Amino acid sequence: MLPPPSAPTSAYDLQFRVVTYNCLSAQGVEQVESLDWQFWRAGVSIAALQETRAFPGRRTATQHFHVLSSEDTEGQLGCQVWLTKDRLDCSDSQTGTSGRFWESASFAVLYSQPRFLLVTVRCGRLKLAVLSAHALTGKARRPEIDAWWMELQGVLRRIPPGHVPLLCIDANAHFAWDSAPPAPTMAQNHNASCMARLLATQQLTATANCLPCGNKVITWRGPQGAEHCLDFIACPTHLAAGMQLQGTLPGFTGKSDRDHEPVLAQIRWKVPGAPLPKACRFDTKQMLTDAGKAKIRAIFASTPRVDWTVDVDSHLHAINTHLTTELSQAFPLQCTAPRSYVLQQHSWQLIQDRRDLQRDLHRCKLAQNRTLLRQVWNALRGHSTSAEDFRLGLQTEALYAKQLRDLRTRVQDSKRKDLAAAAQAAISTARLRGPEALHRHFRYILRSGRRFREPAIQPAILQPDGKFAADSHLVLGQHFATAERATLSQAERIFTTPADLPQQPLQAQTSLSVAALARGFGGLATGKATGPTGLPMELYKADPIGAASVHQPLVMKAQIGGCVPALWRGGHNIAIPKPHKPIQTADAWRAILLCESSLKGVSRAIRGPLLECLEKVRTTAQGGSRPGSPLQIPMAYAQGHLRALRRDGATGALLFVDGKSAFYSTLRQGLFGREGCLSTDYLDTLANALFDSPQERLHFITQAVGPGILAATDVPEPVRRLVTATLRDTWYSVGTSDKHFFETRTGTSPGSPNADIQFQLVFAQVIHKMEALLAEMGAAAQATCHHSQGRNLADIPAPSWMDDLAIPLRAGDAPLLMDMVTKILQELWRSMKEIGLDINFSQGKTELLPVICGAGSRDARKQLLCERGAQHVVPLSHNSSVTLHITSQYVHLGTLLDSSRMITGISVQGLTDDEICQVLGIANPQEARMADLVRHYGWVIAAPDTKLRALWLADTEWFAEVDAAIAQVACSCNVPQAAARKQLEDQPSLASTWARRYTRHCVKARESRAPQRRQQLWALQCLREAGFLLCVRKPTALLIQDVTCEVCGESFATAAACAAHRRKRHGIHAPSSQAAFGTACQVCGTEFWSASRLQDHLKKQASCRNTILAAEIEHDCPPQPKGPHYAWLPATKLVGPLPWWASLRPPAEPVTTAATAPPWHRALRQLTRPGNTLSVLLPAVRSALVHGNLQGATCEDLPVAASCLPVLHKNSSAVSPDVCKIDTVNKIELDLPPPPLEYLDMVLIHFPPCPGMDGKQKSPPEVPCYKDKSGCTHPQACDFVRAQWSVLTDYYNKKKIRAIGVSNYCSACFECLSGSTVMPMVNQVQLHVGMGADPQGFRSFAEKHQIVLQAWSPLGSGGHGSTEILSGNLTTSIGKKYGKSPVQVALKWIASHNVSIATKSSNKEHLKANTEIFDFKLSDEDLASLDAADFAKEDTPSFLCSDPAPSEEAEILRVVV
């Protein structure tokens, strides 16, 4: 049996201090931390605050206090109750002094309003109801004051029985000064009279307004010097002797503008019964570390042996006692670590440093206030004062503030880094575990969001008489007992009853072996709530083999004896509030059963055989519980059925059925049958409680005494005996300190890992019956359906999921559909009743989602939805019926199902009427109005009754609208406006024709844009469904042009910024600053009282400014401070004569405007920023050109020496000369820069074209003429060369290109250009050391014809660098002479022959080295040695020229110089 709760012992004394305080504001971290520090330092246990003006949350916490809050009203009012986290003074007359805490799990908010906060709290046997109240001021009207005090009496009546009321109130009551408690005869205002009556009625005694010694307790000082005690603490009269007033809180510092003082009282009460022991808590994070696992292995290894004859309860108790004792020593809970697992030690240290710095800053402010006060008193006494200490204090405070600000920034940055690292680690771990784990991880993120979980508030159940229940947990326990058919019991009465011994020896099962148990313990989740003993799952997960070895003998005892320990048959129920329901009712709470961690490990071990059993009895669509069976499968059944109904245009529905407390109400007796060894009296009692008819009782008893489902599906007997033992004599407990126990008779062990499987084994019977009924009804409906309709009404999916059933239906018409719904609900209600379940017919639970189509569907929908009010009455029995709600939308397994007909599937959210009409292809409201006016005018004209015509035509406003409509409609119908009215009067029937034409014309005008707009809206709809937030960006005004400093050229966004730069950087002051001295303008004779106001005047008044500047006066007066000392005085006229120079009128200064930078100036400065590398420069130039950021700049403005932009690879230019010419034009046009650039510096033809190509070649080596290097000797080669060159010449003459040239051209190619007016200016060929000084005569040919020769691949090997050049003996030895690298020697050799060099590198150091070749000169001997080198004599300057022949294509390479 369960161990009985400890009996109360002798009474003990409990001491604590209470404060009530009107704080004026509890906003801001600094104010909250200040209150927290001062209350904690004064030893306050309960602090009631009024007028907090903040609502941080229903329950929050500070460093030393738990905080419960009520709502504020637009930043006003609000109450809070602070409960200390420290121990209370608790002295036992027998055991001596000990400590006790406020039980945070017992906090409950009973009443919350801006002026009231009633909470209950518990400390051991003491149940306390703390009420923080704030009365109306004495200036309020008497009826309002009376109403407030009546409400306070109602709040006090809500206090549950057994709770001691403690009233902390800002009463705004004036009593005569006396050391006696307030009485009616002492009242001096209406609030005081009301308070005295309340205290007498509620039998409360409040603190006095004077101490026993006669000193006044002044809690409020008015602006006129009035002093009163407005704040009181009251407790029951019979406990008033234990409450002692101690006055206001000594040394308290609040807000600077406070007018209240906190009242302090000391309470010493004698509480019956010793304080309850505090539950053990362990450091579970340390258990999963390597060191923690080693400790746990030692703990399991040291578990004492338990004799075989010991019963299962004592056996488990011995194991748990050993584990609890060892864990409390090995893993005590440490409070020095952060609560969030994300934070690393570095961030945690920063947070602690921030807290210390906040305390230091607070102490510094207090010391500064004391220093200031000391200086003031010294000044009043006439003593000398020094400002040095005060100034030093201000500097210290500023230093603390700056350090705190910097530290907060570091904390935020460190937190972000820790969060990012934790998120990356979590995603990486999930990715390693597979796609399913990654999917679950992302679903967890999307569902849960932040990890913050609001602290729990204990339930407070309001009874029908208007009072709160004395024990809300007991009320909830009785509420939960309804579903499980439970009865209130006691812990010592919950026995473990052994079953009959097995008839044959039990065979060992692998599912109950040590290995299987180890897998079960190893698969336990971490971070979950623990069971009654408090042993965490991390303990068993850290050493699953040790846990399995320790519990294996106990499991064997359970198999043989057919009984398990009581701790494995129940658990503790935790009340969880349901969303969107009033928490003061029992229906707003649901129960979560916390089972023992060891039970969960054993249950996971036997899950395999139960899953095999489920596979034998489950239906097709019955989902859940099985591995690899996600929610998407039953969701697909429901969604697919709706899609099929819409696709076929058929009538059908989805009937959603929800069971009430399914896991708790299921009759489990059918699972084990006769193996449960239940007595006949027990079964009779249960049958009478569940069923009304004898037939139903007989059916239940027959199942309970027959073979169970487990035995019928061949579940091994040892597993059956273990499962049966966990389902017999079950129980649950509720409550915190005083627990209440209930013995249950139904349910499938909710809270255990196998509860879902056990429920589905029983519920499968219901789904089988539904499938048979649906098949029968589908066949009957198909027989009545005409074959021409082509519909198979019997072919529908099966009902899906578990207790949340989705039953698909299909019928011939709406009446047949509703008949099917009635029959199915009746049969389903009877079938579910047989297993102990009931249907939840409330709205949003059990509902019908119909799809009605076909002939007569409109009338059917009208009758069903309008006339019946979207409800369908279903008779369940001869004396009961229920109402089924009909809906168009239903959330099934987290997915919204919608049966309404969608036209486009696009949401109209954020769309205008015109956009909706455009997408739908209909006229907009204005167009429809125009057409209706014309049509209506035609009807009026055609009416034979002249009175009707006169009635409408006399309305001038309507007639004006008709005129405008006729003009607009006639225009679209090509009818002259002047003759339109005459035609309508002669032929009124034209009105309808014109209206149709006008509507068709308007729709057709937008028809071409509709598909594109529909695609755009559909894309936005997909983004919205994916979670994107869409917003409309308003058009922004034109940006202000940058203002440039004429001295240095720096650009600024505003003229003011430019002026500040000129003053600070160049010492150039603005004219108004130069002219301003003193505080008065001597020109217009006006005193402005401050220099800043004078400067504003001179900025606006140019005549005054010019006169002062022209006078060239030297400022002999000291500069005036710009502070607001006299800024509040109005400007006044000076008295006396003005200086002589004030009458001068110099010529007006020339109007000068600040140099305004062109729009491209800022982009250009970004490009030329020092330190920009080539890898940064090239993309920046390309982006600036493409996006037009350099609009207005010229090529001379761009300081770009060389930039090679992308090359196009098209191979169609060699098909024919004409095609070659056209393609060259296209390429140049494509490469021409956008504005602001006007031309290209140089364009080269990459290599000669190769006639006869088919356009499929991608590079020169693939060209047929490349292999034999035949150059331009092809008969058609010259035609292609001339065609391509003529294009470049044309662009050169148009000044679109500054220089044109070729690449890889040999002498034969140049012969083709002999008649050209412009010859190539550059020829780019391969040239490097090892090829000779003049390979194939290319260099001499270029010098002869004045062509610049440019070397590509200057280092050999086709641009990759030759080994002989990079590290050969020749270049290396020469380089050593000059202190240069071999690369620099090779480049210098090329430059020495007056050949241009084209280099390329992504290495910044290499680029720099390439330019450092002009500070030395090669000797003649070294030049001769390099000229004679022939290690690369096989390389040719052109890859096409050993003999002129055709080439591949005319590819254009653009180079900007």
Beta strands of 1099-1140 (E only): which ranges? Answer: 1132-1133
**Mean pLDDT for the chain overall:** 81
| More confident site: 1068 or 114 | 114
Nearest C-alpha neighbor of 557 from the set 318, 750, 301, 307: 307
Please list, in sequence order, all residues whose beta carbon lies within 8 angstroms of the beta carbon of residue 964, skipping any fewer than 6 positions away. Answer: 930
Q: What pLDDT digit, counting tens, does each position of 180-214 carry?
A: 999 999 999 999 999 999 999 889 999 999 998 88
503-504-506 Cα angle (round to 5): 120
Block residue for tokens 């690298």: 1381
Nearest C-alpha neighbor of 400 from the set 440, 371, 358: 358
What is the rounded distance in angstroms from the CA atom of residue 989 to the CA atom of residue 978? 18
How much is the pLDDT for 1454? 29
End-to-end CA distance of the chain: 95
Task: Name the residue type at position 540.
Answer: Y
pLDDT band at 486 (very low <50, low <70, confident <90, very high): very high
Beta-sheet pairing, 1348-1352 with 1396-1397: parallel
Dihedral over Cα of 138, 144, 150, 152: its sign: negative
Nearest C-alpha neighbor of 812 from the set 796, 791, 834: 791
| More confident site: 246 or 442 | 246
Burial of residue 1378 (number of CB atoms within 10 Å: 0-12, 13-18, 19+)? middle
Nearest C-alpha neighbor of 523 from the set 596, 601, 597, 599: 601
What's CA 590's distance to the chain center, in Å?
Answer: 27
pLDDT band at 169 (very low <50, low <70, confident <90, very high): very high
What is the rounded distance in angstroms from the CA atom of residue 165 to the CA atom of residue 119? 10
Q: What pLDDT digit, counting tens, does each position of 279-308 carry?
A: 667 888 888 889 999 999 999 999 999 998
What is the rounded distance in angstroms from the CA atom of residue 696 to the CA atom of residue 835? 10
Task: Name the residue type at position 1315.
Answer: G
pLDDT band at 1216 (very low <50, low <70, confident <90, very high): low
Instruction: Provide the token pair at 1071.
Output: 């004219």
How much is the pLDDT for 1151? 46
Beta-sheet pairing, 204-206 with 220-221: unpaired
CA separation, residue 540 to residues 428, 536, 547, 548 (Å): 26, 8, 6, 9
Q: What pLDDT digit, counting tens, does each position of 120-136 carry?
A: 998 877 889 999 999 99
Sheet holding 1322-1326: strands in order across? Answer: 1203-1204, 1452-1456, 1240-1245, 1297-1303, 1322-1326, 1348-1352, 1396-1397
Instruction: Provide the token pair at 1191.
Output: 């609009």
Segment 1153-1177 shows an average pLDDT of 53
| More confident site: 752 or 682 | 682
DSSP string, 922-976: ---HHHHHHHHHHHHHHHHHH-S-HHHHHHHHT-HHHHHHHHHHHHHHHHHTT--
DSSP string, 716-752: -HHHHHHHHHHTSS-EEEE-SSS-EEEE--SSS-TTS
Tell me the CB-side half-sphere exposure of residue 1280, using CA atoms within 13 A. Answer: 31
What is the rounded distance in angstroms from the CA atom of residue 1064 to the CA atom of residue 1044? 15
pLDDT band at 662 (very low <50, low <70, confident <90, very high): confident
Q: What does the DSSP 8-state code read for residue 866?
A: I
How much is the pLDDT for 1179? 62
Q: What pLDDT digit, counting tens, does each position of 985-1005 carry?
A: 888 888 888 888 888 888 888
What is the rounded distance in angstroms from the CA atom of residue 542 to the CA atom of residue 334? 19
Q: How crowded is residue 516: how many other Cβ atoms within 10 Å of its Cβ?
A: 20
**pLDDT at 1038 > cutoff 70:** no
pLDDT band at 1204 (very low <50, low <70, confident <90, very high): very low
Please list, in sequence order, all residues whose beta carbon lies within 8 angstroms of the beta carbon of residue 65, skipping any fewer than 6 positions away. Answer: 36, 39, 40, 47, 82, 83, 84, 85
Q: Which of 118-122, 331-335, 1020-1024, 1152-1156 has the lowest mean pLDDT?
A: 1152-1156
Q: Which of 25-29, 398-402, 707-711, 1156-1160 has the lowest mean pLDDT?
A: 1156-1160
Q: Which helix (H) or strand (E) holds 687?
A: helix 680-690
Task: Name the residue type at position 1319.
Answer: M
What is the rounded distance in angstroms from the CA atom of residue 849 to the CA atom of residue 345? 55
Q: Which of 320-324, 369-373, 457-461, 967-971 has the lowest mean pLDDT?
A: 457-461
pTM above 0.85, yes or no: no
Orientation of helix 925-942 relative to helix 946-953, angle to 10°: 140
Task: Name the residue type at position 1033.
Answer: R
pLDDT band at 730 (very low <50, low <70, confident <90, very high): very high
Instruction: Provide the token pair at 332.
Output: 């005590």
Q: Which of 11-25, 789-803, 1341-1355, 1389-1403 has the lowest mean pLDDT?
A: 789-803
How much is the pLDDT for 445? 60
How much is the pLDDT for 478? 92
Q: What pLDDT digit, counting tens, does each position of 599-614 carry?
A: 999 999 999 999 889 8
Burial of residue 662 (number of CB atoms within 10 Å: 0-12, 13-18, 19+)? buried
**pLDDT at 502 > cutoff 90:** no
What is the rounded distance in angstroms from the CA atom of residue 135 to the CA atom of residue 366? 32
Please list, in sequence order, all residues whose beta carbon lies within 8 angstroms of the beta carbon of residue 1229, skipping any fewer than 6 positions away. Answer: none
Collapse the DSSP code of 1368 into the 3-class scheme (helix H, G, I; strand E, B; otherwise coil) and give the result: coil
Percent of the residues in the chain that have a pLDDT greater than 90, as a whole number: 21
Beta-sheet pairing, 126-134 with 164-170: parallel
Helix and strand element counts for the chain (H, E): 48, 41
Nearest C-alpha neighbor of 855 from the set 805, 820, 812: 812
685-691-696 Cα angle (round to 5): 105
Q: Which of 22-26, 614-618, 1074-1078, 1150-1154 has the lowest mean pLDDT?
A: 1150-1154
What is the rounded distance in angstroms from the CA atom of residue 404 to the CA atom of residue 354? 7
Q: What pLDDT digit, counting tens, does each position of 929-962 carry?
A: 888 888 888 888 888 777 777 777 777 778 788 8
Block residue for tokens 């089988």: 768
Task: Evaluate whether 334 touches 20 at the Cβ level (below 8 Å).
Answer: no
What is the rounded distance in angstroms from the CA atom of residue 113 to the CA atom of residue 73? 9
What is the rounded distance in angstroms from the CA atom of residue 81 to the CA atom of residue 59? 10
What is the rounded distance in angstroms from the CA atom of residue 683 to the CA atom of residue 705? 9
What is the rounded distance in angstroms from the CA atom of residue 754 to the CA atom of residue 730? 15
Q: What does the DSSP 8-state code read for residue 212?
A: T
Task: Evaluate whether 776 touches 823 at the Cβ level (below 8 Å).
Answer: no
Please list, in sequence order, all residues whose beta carbon lies within 8 angstroms of the beta carbon of residue 791, skipping any fewer than 6 positions away. Answer: 648, 650, 785, 810
pLDDT band at 1262 (very low <50, low <70, confident <90, very high): low
Task: Evaluate whether 237 touches 203 at the Cβ level (below 8 Å).
Answer: yes
Nearest C-alpha neighbor of 566 from the set 324, 733, 753: 733
